[in-house]
Amino acid sequence: MELSIIIVNYNVKFFLEQCLYAVLKAVEQIDAEIWVVDNRSTDGSVEYLRPLFPGVSFLENQKNAGFSAANNQALQLCSGSYILFLNPDTLIPEDCLTNCIQFMKAHSMAGALGIRMLDGSGKFLPESKRAFPSPIRAFYKLIGFSALFPKSSRFNRYSLGHLNSFENHEVDVLAGAFMMIPKSVLELTGGFDERFFMYGEDIDLSYRIQKAGFTNYYFSGSSIIHFKGESTRKGSLNYVILFYNAMLLFVQKNYRGSKAGFFGFFIQAAIILRGLFSAFYKIGAYPFKKWAKKLEFDKNRAESMVFLTKMTENQPILDKNSTLIFCESKQFSWKEIIQKVEELSHSGAQFRFRASNSQSIVGSDSKESEGETLSANIIS
């Protein structure tokens, strides 16, 4: 078997539905298996999805085991020469996996491959390619210099902002949302460290792959959509604690001496600062835009939507009040949809997505906020 795909799900059944339809298109020419590990979702994910995808293997946990442990659970059962760790809130084009495998075969020392990722509004996600964390890089990120100077090799070194996102690069860190690794490499390095419940596990595994003598690659030959924000909203205190504690664990595990001590102090200070910001925000004192809330759809909203079912020369007129729903079909592939979303990313419109024959429509306007789902039956 050439490829094993592992997807860990927690309460995102409609996003996973769209993801699986896209994945099935992408493996049509590949000998592949698909594993879904459900971390005791409470939204009826397995009951909803299992009848729709009889060719997918579902593992049901009796507790939320965390991202790392759930991936490792399926990894023990995989038969593929390559393993793809994939998030459920992703959409991939039809030729994505074939292109990635061809790239890996052409680079004998490739230890892992990440990919060019866009958010739900079509904007490039800088975490697609990263450097290993350091105190100064974390400092620049915390004080906002990385956002002010996104192309700087100094101030935005962590996100490698100086590297062209449309070119392939050797990088340090790949995102766990899409991480393809030869099984032979994982047999040497081991899977994810299960001490990382959520966040930081991809940095740690990337680090161990490099230490084993392999190269991590950022691959720009395909672009995927990664909605983000579906498990833990980035504005919440819970996210802050999980993220910075994961960074602290990585530092304690892999760094030594004064560097580790300084970094540890800095990260704990960051947790306190970000925690205060989150607390002020929660009571309405945080002076920035509030996180978007999940919208309730009704017939009026449905009637105002534009459904795009094929590529057209007449581009719809879009503004910030527009909602454009991309419907994958024989005339309109996922690859074309993803290209179109990026092309229209500055229009200000909302984008939603639906695979042919699926039961839902999904989308997310920002990586900082919870996504939006609705039943597809509103269009019938």
CATH code assigned at 69: 3.90.550.10
Q: Which of 248, 260, 257 is nearest to 200 (CA)?
A: 248
Higher pLDDT, 279 or 292: 279
153 Cα distance to chain centroid: 24
Establish if 142 belongs to a structural domain. no
For residue 274, the one-letter residue type is R
Task: Quote the pLDDT of residue 225.
Answer: 97
Establish if 135 belongs to a structural domain. no
Establish if 108 belongs to a structural domain. yes
Establish if 149 belongs to a structural domain. no
For residue 293, the one-letter residue type is K
- Domains identified in the chain, total number: 3
Structural domain containing residue 274 = 237-282
Q: What letters, b where the CB count within 10 A reaches 16 and e where it falls short, cover 138-151?
A: bebbbeebbeeeee
61 and 96 in a single domain? The answer is yes
Higher pLDDT, 378 or 134: 134
Please state, in angstroms and rounded to a whole number, the distance separating the CA atoms of residues 141 and 349. Answer: 29
Establish if 347 belongs to a structural domain. yes
Q: Is 303 exposed, middle or buried (0-12, 13-18, 19+ CB in 10 A)?
A: exposed
63 and 177 in a single domain? The answer is yes
Backbone φ, ψ for residue 8 (5° rounding): -100, 125
42 and 114 in a single domain? The answer is yes
pLDDT digits (tens, 9 = 90+) for 328-339: 999 999 999 999
Q: What is the mean pLDDT of residues 176-187?
A: 97
Angle formed by the axes of helices 334-343 and 13-26, nearest 10°: 120
209 and 342 in a single domain? The answer is no
Higher pLDDT, 87 or 380: 87
Q: What average pLDDT does the chain have?
A: 84
**pLDDT level of residue 300 (50, 70, 90 thresholds):** very low
Task: Quote the pLDDT of residue 269.
Answer: 66
Say yes or no to pLDDT of 173 above 60.
Answer: yes
Give yes or no for a contact between 46 and 58, defined as CB atoms under 8 angstroms apart: yes
**pLDDT level of residue 45 (50, 70, 90 thresholds):** very high
42 and 7 in a single domain? The answer is yes
Task: Quote the pLDDT of residue 97.
Answer: 98
Predicted TM-score of the model (pTM)? 0.84
Residues 147, 151, 153: CA angle, nearest 5 degrees: 105
60 and 41 in a single domain? The answer is yes
272 and 319 in a single domain? The answer is no
219 and 244 in a single domain? The answer is no
Do the bridges between strand 32-38 and strand 3-9 make them parallel or antiparallel, or are there none, so unpaired? parallel
97 and 244 in a single domain? The answer is no
Establish if 268 belongs to a structural domain. yes
195 and 90 in a single domain? The answer is yes
Helix or strand run (H / E) with residue 181? strand 178-182
Q: Six-digit token pair at 57? A: 């293997």
Task: Quote the pLDDT of residue 3.
Answer: 98
175 and 109 in a single domain? The answer is yes
74 and 116 in a single domain? The answer is yes
HSE-CB for 69 with a 13 A CA cutoff: 13
For residue 253, the one-letter residue type is K
Please state, in angstroms and rounded to a whole number, the distance separating the CA atoms of residues 183 and 22. Answer: 23
